[in-house]
A and B are shown apart, each in its own frame.
Chain A
């Protein structure tokens, strides 16, 4: 038995907003609520009570695209602000509004859009799949990952994984919604606790070996690392437990390099290719492209 969540979110807002707009309901006449316990989305009257206006109101597609992402933000004021923007863009007569990054409402939507975009990007970066088995019938490898997004981005972020990991089965579990891919269909179920996901993968040790050795102790820049990989993500990254140790030992490692005796140059080995290189270099050592272009 599996639970299927019907959680249209943005689509529900869009349907309601279209209806309200068709009836010329002003933004300050609507109260929007995120709370599913409330019987209706609307506290101030039922929109179906009035007849929709006949005319079709055109909305710039750039706005709808941006609103779709901004709607994934967890700020409870988002539905009201998106409707206010929709109103201003259409019935309010401010058709150029999206060109005004200096407008308070536009700026707020852009901020949400940006925060959601960053959250999606970090999900693409920091999900770590763990191999849990191989399907006996299809021989496809099966992976499970755990991620804790800041916003409601699972639907927006997972088509990327479908394209990238088409050849394997995977599930990405989060506290509010899970996504599953079986080679044919991407579908969503409700959230699960952290304990539902595996903690380790047999490859994590090899990955940590790589991480430890690609780090250059001679150029420690901790703030640069943390601005892009904030600490809140560390608990789900298998490489993060190495960070403190790498920083602590870096100064000693550099000191060791500085104290190492300098190595003298060794003579060139007897190698035909090397000889041909040296001959080429000596026959025309200072040739530059400008000169060769002129000739």
Chain B
């Protein structure tokens, strides 16, 4: 099989992993070496495919042959997909050739599990070792690890990689038992705990000044959860994510709406969830990480799923109207962060400007804030929203998408607009 055919199969097999992050690595570059590569700035998206996803890394599998039978996955053993396998040298050459042309800024290498966890892990690590040690490659490397692989191999993977990850895939063991019978949530979390230990050891501040520096290790770990493949509610998904963020200090949890695959399983009938659900989960994720929201405030036992029509911050504000209006000239930071349409950066701008001037509506307009969203919830030196009806029933309707759009999309809610995506990436909600 030639390299083009292998690349077709093994890129196609890797596309269901949403992660493309290439930021947050330790600063390093190729100056003074014969190689190429640098990391440490904000990530660069070198291209975009028409699915709206960025291409920053060469994302491939070592092989798509797999012992496991995860029913949402095109590579499961019951699938009839054509199988292929790269040699480590082939992946190394592809990575360097693509990198030197500035198509990509690194490699995201994963693999179907063949023979055993350790055998597979060794194959993946060999690519990273060659890149780092034989070719002095200093670009970004993300390696997928297997929870059941030995500690020594995970330590070695972390030594070569900037980021390592293990996908939890589903937020409950019941879900995994049905759809991914080889996977185990407890073992995954145990492995994440070990990885967190290694990261803390290397980058924590508690080390004694004379103690030797621990070996190099990836600066972060991330994971992915499938949305809509099982019955889990948004509350369950966000609860799981929140636990992973706090217990194992993950850098990112990716949410991937289950989408039809070319090799459907009889156990998992194809019924894709609306993409907007994935989008709302990302927005909720930002609220957890940067806006001091608690999971229960966003998705509770009584309303376990996010409102698909409104973003979760606006939705929270409409459920908690007694909190508003908030005076942008006086309110503390944590209250400003609760105002719909006011993102983290603009909260900082407001806090620094109001030390010198009483903010008026014209000032907020100059900050290009979303005034329509903001007005019912704020007080400024020249504005009080009482007459705009914070108590009125029509306030929710004011924010809903236009009715004709709702009719058109009665079954599937509208796709988010382009600036919605921007807001998710920048975290300005």
Contacts and interface: CB of A to CB of B under 8 A. Distances in A.
A101 B348 CA distance: 10
Interface string B4-32: 10011101101110000000000001111
A265 B69 contact: yes
A78 interface: no
A216 B79 CA distance: 18
A127 interface: yes
B400 interface: no
Nearest to A254: B260
Contacts of A125: 44-47
B233 interface: no
B262 A281 contact: no
A211 B54 CA distance: 11
Contact of B101 (A102, A128, A221): A128
Interface stretch (B178-186, B201-209, B218-226, B294-302): B178-186
A287 B173 CA distance: 9
B409 interface: no
B352 A101 contact: yes
B116 interface: yes
B59 A128 contact: no
Contacts of B417: 223
A107 to B, nearest CB: 6
Most buried by B among A164, A206, A217, A220: A164
Contacts of B41: 160
Nearest to B6: A209
Nearest to A126: B46
A163 B29 contact: yes
A145 B257 CA distance: 37
A203 interface: yes
Given A243-B50, A285-B177, A166 B101 contact: no
A264 to B, nearest CB: 5
Contacts of A288: 173, 185-186, 189
Given A218-B272, A257-B261, A264-B266, A129 B101 contact: yes
A224 to B, nearest CB: 3
A294 interface: no
Contacts of A212: 8
Nearest to B270: A258
B232 to A, nearest CB: 15
Contact of A263 (B37, B80, B117): B80
B349 interface: yes
Contacts of A100: 352-353, 356-357
Q: Which of the four size classes fits the interface of chain A?
A: 35 or more
A228 interface: yes
A238 to B, nearest CB: 8
A102 B52 contact: no
B177 to A, nearest CB: 7
A201 B98 CA distance: 11
B58 interface: yes
A130 B100 CA distance: 9
A56 interface: no
A112 to B, nearest CB: 15
A187 interface: no
Nearest to B261: A257
A228 B247 contact: no
A102 to B, nearest CB: 4
B415 A221 contact: yes
A163 B31 contact: yes
A227 interface: yes
Interface in B223-272: 247, 257, 259-267, 269-270, 272
A209 to B, nearest CB: 5
B50 A247 contact: yes
Contacts of A131: 100-101
Contacts of A213: 7-9, 11-12, 15
B327 to A, nearest CB: 16
Contact of B421 (A102, A143, A224): A224
Contact of B418 (A103, A223, A237): A223
Contacts of A148: none
B260 A164 contact: no
Interface in A76-131: 96, 99-104, 107, 121, 124-131
Contacts of A201: 101
Interface of A: 96, 99-104, 107, 121, 124-131, 141, 143, 145, 160, 162-168, 201, 203, 205-207, 209-229, 237, 239, 243, 246-247, 250, 254, 256-258, 260-266, 268-269, 271-274, 277-278, 280-281, 284-289, 292
Instruction: Report the 10 A-B pairs with minimum CB-CB distance, sorted nearest first.
Output: A224-B52, A221-B52, A218-B259, A273-B116, A102-B363, A163-B29, A223-B418, A166-B30, A213-B11, A101-B349
14 contacts: A96-B356, A125-B45, A125-B46, A125-B47, A128-B101, A131-B101, A163-B31, A164-B36, A213-B11, A214-B12, A223-B418, A225-B48, A262-B265, A266-B69
Given A210-B103, A260-B262, 8 more contacts: A99-B352, A101-B367, A102-B349, A103-B366, A225-B52, A227-B421, A247-B50, A292-B186
